[in-house]
Amino acid sequence: MTGQRPTAEPLVLGIESSCDETGVGLVRGTTLLADAVATSVDEHARFGGVVPEVASRAHLEAMAPTLERAWAQAGVRPTDVDAVAVTRGPGLAGALTVGVGAAKALALALGVPLYGVNHLAAHVAVDVLEHGPLPRPTAALLVSGGHTSLLLVRDITCDVEQLGTTIDDAAGEAFDKVARVLGLPFPGGPQIDRTAAAGDPQAIRFPRGLTAPHDMREHRYDWSFSGLKTAVARWVERRLAAGQDVPVADVAASFQEAVADVLTRKAVLACREHGVDHLVMGGGAVANSRLRSLAAERCREAGIDLRIPRRDLCTDNGAMVAALGAQVVAAGHAPSPLDLSVDSSLPVTSIVA
């Protein structure tokens, strides 16, 4: 670090509203100044999943108070902001619209540039706040509620190649669905993680999708979690039909082991086969303790340098958007037009609008 440089770097505001978290972050360079998050998760719990309309209204209510908290945390005023970054996709269209609307209003009022950025790239970019600039190239394993991807990142602001993805459910989605089968409340990921701590991960051998030799030819770096989810449901049904108790902790631990196993196995394989010795992980499901520990173990064995953001930076937040925004600004990319729209199915390779 050179003494004075950070103050010369632009102050970037990041706004996130793609799902059920309203996030506002403030970042200067790679320094995190504020990370304020409001969640509407409790309002969705009784429906067993995120209700888009409820999420949009919650963002509308939470946006201004969350911005206020961010200014206070960072000790800055809105007029100190040099650029505004906002998630424009992928995510729920109505929810994204609230964040993009707020970002446009701020950019216009403050007379600063607006950058509409990709939520998935932001999950990877956030790691700079903890571990400094990303190595180039690096592989990235992205595991969130709606996406599971293996990426080759040459430049997180403009050059990301998708090596593999799920061919059906996202890993986070599988966590949520298996939790429901086990009678655990929404959102299921953290519940499974907690419940699994008391279970035996070797108790039940659940299937590892797309790892058979012929699948490894056609879907070398892809995953499938729908068969695993069904296998867990069948296993539980059989126990209940036989009048036996369901060992919830063992099922949770064995399921979690199967997910962590296939995710880390293919990520390490892709690193080896692409001659990349850095792996960054990001996304809500990367908060999972077994996924973190198995990744650490396998990367150590393979000589891969692993970077994982701390848990609250893995789940959705505004700091990740500000972190990506700061890198986009530093790289000199053109700002987005003020008629920027949202894109609920924005591909991971499209980073700045």
Rounded to the nearest 10°, the torsion over CA 119, 121, 122, 126 is: 160
Q: At its nearest, how many Å lie between ligand KG4 and the CB of residue 70?
A: 19
> Quick one: DSSP state of residue 100?
H
How distant, in Å, are the alpha carbons of 175, 227, 244, 249 from that of 182? 11, 17, 14, 9
Q: Residue 209: which H helix or E strand, with range? A: none
DSSP assignments along 138-205, one per residue: EEEEEE-SS-EEEEEEEETTTEEEEEEEBSSS-HHHHHHHHHHHTTPPSSHHHHHHHHHTTS-TTSS-
Q: At its nearest, how many Å lie between ligand KG4 and the CB of residue 257?
A: 12
Q: At its nearest, how many Å lie between Zn ion and the CB of residue 28?
A: 23
Tell whether residue 316 is a contact of Zn ion (CB under 5 A). Answer: yes
Q: Which does 287 bind (CB under 5 to 8 A by kind): Zn ion, ligand KG4, none?
A: ligand KG4
Q: Which residue has the tokens 């999943």?
A: 49
> Is the Cβ–Cβ distance between 326 and 11 less than 8 Å?
no
DSSP assignments along 224-242, one per residue: --HHHHHHHHHHHHHHHHT
Q: Which is nearer to ligand KG4, 185 or 337 (CB)?
A: 185
Q: Which is nearer to ligand KG4, 38 or 76 (CB)?
A: 38
Which two structure tokens, joined as six digits, stand for 251? Answer: 């099922």
HSE at residue 246, side-chain half, CA atoms within 13 A, is 21
Q: Which is nearer to Zn ion, 89 or 209 (CB)?
A: 89
Q: Which is nearer to ligand KG4, 27 or 174 (CB)?
A: 174
Contacts with ligand KG4 by CB under 6 A lie at 19, 144-146, 172, 175-176, 187-190, 193, 283-285, 287-288, 315-316
Classify 13 in phi/psi space as left (phi over 0), alpha (psi -120 to 50) or beta.
Answer: beta
Q: Which does 335 bind (CB under 5 to 8 A by kind): Zn ion, ligand KG4, none?
A: none
Q: At its nearest, how many Å lie between ligand KG4 and the CB of residue 79?
A: 31
Q: Which is nearer to ligand KG4, 89 or 137 (CB)?
A: 89
Tell whether residue 222 is a contact of Zn ion (CB under 5 A). Answer: no
How many Cβ atoms are within 10 Å of 321's Cβ, its own excluded?
37
Q: At its nearest, how many Å lie between ligand KG4 and the CB of residue 18?
A: 6
DSSP assignments along 40-64, one per residue: -HHHHHTTTS--HHHHHHHHHHHHH
Q: Give Cα 331 to chain centroid, integer Å.
A: 23
What number of chain residues touch Zn ion (CB under 5 A)? 2
> Exposed (0-12), middle (13-18) or buried (19+): which is 32, by Cβ within 10 Å?
buried
Q: Which does 222 bind (CB under 5 to 8 A by kind): ligand KG4, Zn ion, none?
A: none
Identify which range of 106-114, 139-147, 228-236, 268-276 contacts Zn ion by CB under 5 A: 139-147
Query: Residues 89-128 vs Zn ion: string with x where CB under 5 A?
Result: ----------------------------------------
Q: Which does 190 bind (CB under 5 to 8 A by kind): ligand KG4, Zn ion, none?
A: ligand KG4
Q: At its nearest, how many Å lie between Zn ion and the CB of residue 282?
A: 8
Q: Which is nearer to Zn ion, 144 or 157 (CB)?
A: 144
Q: At its nearest, how many Å lie between ligand KG4 and the CB of residue 259?
A: 8
Tell whether residue 144 is a contact of Zn ion (CB under 5 A). Answer: yes
Q: At its nearest, how many Å lie between Zn ion and the CB of residue 314?
A: 9
Q: Which does 116 bind (CB under 5 to 8 A by kind): ligand KG4, Zn ion, none?
A: none
> Is the Cβ–Cβ distance between 158 and 351 less than 8 Å?
yes
Tell whether residue 17 is a contact of Zn ion (CB under 5 A). Answer: no
Nearest Cα neighbor of 142 from 268, 263, 296, 323 is 263
Q: At its nearest, how many Å lie between Zn ion and the CB of residue 348?
A: 12
Chain contacts with Zn ion (rule: CB under 5 A): 144, 316
